[in-house]
Structure formats: structure tokens, C-alpha cells
Amino acid sequence: MKPLQMTREEAQLYEKVQSQIPLTDEEALWLYQNGRLAFLSALATLVRDRLHNKNVYYNRNFHIEPTNICIYECAFCSFARKPGEPGGWEYSLEEIEAIAERYKGTGVTEVHIVGGVHPKRGIEYYAEMIRRIKRILPDIHVKAFTAVELKVMCARSRMSYREGLLALREAGLDSLPGGGAEIFHPDIRRQICATKASTEEWLAIHRTAHELGIPSNATMLYGHIESYEHRVHHMRLLRELQAETGGFNCFIPLKYRRENNKLSHIGEVSTIEDLKNYAVSRLYLHNIAHLKAYWPMIGVQTAQMSLMFGVDDLDGTIDDTTKIYSMAGVKAPGSLSTEMLEDLIRQAGYEAVERDSLYRPIRRAAATV
């Protein structure tokens, strides 16, 4: 339904979005700077409903974070530790097998594996990790390793990106998560994560994965020292790579959380800013089909509200298996049951659809008494 009482600028953008004409950088920036929340909601909803009708997706998943020992010191990170530092951990392969064993027969369809960039582990170690998980959970979709991790893994094993990804794919890797992108603009990257994978390296790794038939996600860490211009620049590079490869499954804006890191003094952006960012992301990234609100990072209530600002995916059940955001001060619950996720979605007026990792609906047989 067409929003009422639009300004001239809003009416022009409404007609453009309705005609499915991609927004320019300048138009996305205008929406960030001037877009009224009600207008952004109406416009983003127009796009998400055109793409997905009233469907909102979730999956049954769990995380494995093999280690938080990391060679990098990113200013925004509350997760990483140096070897021997209190609060650090390094799971053995046997401990990871034990985690996987807990999910036999539970109906989970995806394991998400990310962690610190370990100083000693290469491709061979992580390939063996995947093989062991697949032996226990042969039908599980393995979404694993950020481009930041992959860069160092490949270097340690003296492999090209292509060789490393092929070895992991042979072991059972199915897709890549989108982490490590942070903010692509060099002015910001120099200040928050200067030493880790560069913008060009992150894009090159995902491009290579797409060329090998390995799909991936994409993220953007927002709400710290970046400007709206930096956000638009970041999304433009993702939109351009998607136009080239078509390999991104979804885009996930990740909110900076302030506790226990070097940027704590700057605070956090408001929920209104979160919702605005979802809407502009949905409107600008016309060629990435799915927009995810990662509820462990923003909280359940904000995730539910995001469904009115272009979001069509709430991630999954998680089952209290990630510490990345709890270590940064997030007070969201550690897990949500499928019933809780479906209730959240239905209360917002949408239809809950369980999906696999490639957004194919999963139809489960009804339970019998």
C-alpha cells in the first residue's frame, strides 16, 4: 500500500523502488540522513513482501567456536584472547566431536563454525574438524570460517585461496559465513582492525568461494565510528560482487556492542538506528535476496520489530552455543525453541517457515501421539 503524505523526495523514491530500479549511493545516503521511520518501514516492507510474500525464515542450528585464541587485536572485539590469557579456550578435536554428539537426533540442519584466528592451525586441522563433525552428523550443513580465518589458514598451509577452499570443500564445507567484513572503507578499517584481512582480501576469498560453487553470507559491523557514507560504500562493494557472482545468500547487519573492548567509550546506537539500518540495507541491496536480523546480537524484541523494516530471516535456535555477543554485554537469551521463534514471527503478522541453509523450506512430519 502506498504510504500517505509523502514529501516530494519520498514520492520519487517510492516510485523508483516500486519500479524495481536500484537505488544510487546518493539515494541510500539520503534515506539514512532524512528517511522518516514510518516511510522506511513502508518502503522496506514493499520490497521484502515482493521478494518473500509473508514468509519469515528460521533454521535449527548450533554454533561451534573452536577457540577464542587470536593473533589479532581488533578494537571492537570482546571475544579474542592471547595464548595463556585468562578467559581463553582451545577445544580439542575430541571436544568438538563431543559437542556434535549432543545434536544427534535433534533435527538440527546447520552448524556454524567461527572462532579466533589461531596462531598455529592450518587448513589440514580444520578439514579434519569438518570430517569428524560430518561422521557424527552426516546430513548437517557446515557453514564455517570467516574470510579472516581462511586467509591465515591458507597462508599457514602454503595454499592459495582456491586450494584451501577446495580442500575444505572436499572435507565437507558447504558454505561460508559473512564475518570479518566489518566496515570496508580503509579509513575505518585502519582504526578498528588494521592488521587483519583487508577489504580486497575479504572480497577475493568470497569471490573465489562463489566461483567454486560455495555460497556465502555477507555482514557489516555498524554503530561504532563509521559514518553513513562508510556504510553505503560497504554495501556498494557487496552489491557489485553479488552482481558479478550471485553467490551471497543473505546480508546480516551486525550491531557493535560496547562492553569489554577498546571502543567502549563510544556507546551504542539506538534501536531506532538499528531499524533504519535494516530498512536502508533492504532497499539498497536489491540483488541479495535475504536480510537477516541476528537475534542474539540485537535481542528478541528488536529482532521482532525488524520484520517491519525489511528483514525476512531471524537466524535460528542457536541453543546457547555462541559467546561472541554475550562477552560484549548482550543480555539476549542463549537459545530459542522453534515454537518461540514461530510465535515471534506470527505475532508480527508473518508466516514462519523453517528453512535449510540455502533457504529451501523444510517440511517436517507432524508429531504423532
Domain ranges, ordered by start, for the chain? 8-354
Query: What's residue 368's pLDDT?
Result: 34
Query: What's residue 258's pLDDT?
Result: 82
One pLDDT digit (tens) per residue for the chain, 369 residues? 555 689 999 999 999 999 999 999 999 999 999 999 999 999 999 999 999 999 999 999 999 999 999 999 899 888 888 888 898 999 999 999 999 999 999 999 999 999 999 999 999 999 999 999 999 999 999 999 999 999 999 999 999 999 999 999 999 999 999 999 999 999 999 999 999 999 999 999 999 999 999 999 999 999 999 999 999 999 999 999 999 999 999 999 999 988 778 888 898 999 999 999 999 999 999 999 999 999 988 999 999 999 999 999 999 998 876 666 556 555 656 688 999 999 999 999 999 999 999 999 998 865 433
CA distance 333 to 27: 37
Q: Report the topology of domain 8-354.
A: TIM Barrel (3.20.20)
Query: What's residue 366's pLDDT?
Result: 59
pTM over 0.85: yes
Instruction: Assess contact for 142 and 133: CB atoms under 8 A.
Output: yes
Query: What's residue 92's pLDDT?
Result: 96
What lies within 8 Å, CB to CB, of 252 at 6+ separation is 178, 217, 218, 219, 220, 291, 292, 294
Task: Look at phi and psi of residue 267 and say left if phi exceeds 0, alpha if psi is from -120 to 50, else beta.
Answer: left
Query: What's residue 364's pLDDT?
Result: 80
Query: What's residue 159's pLDDT?
Result: 98
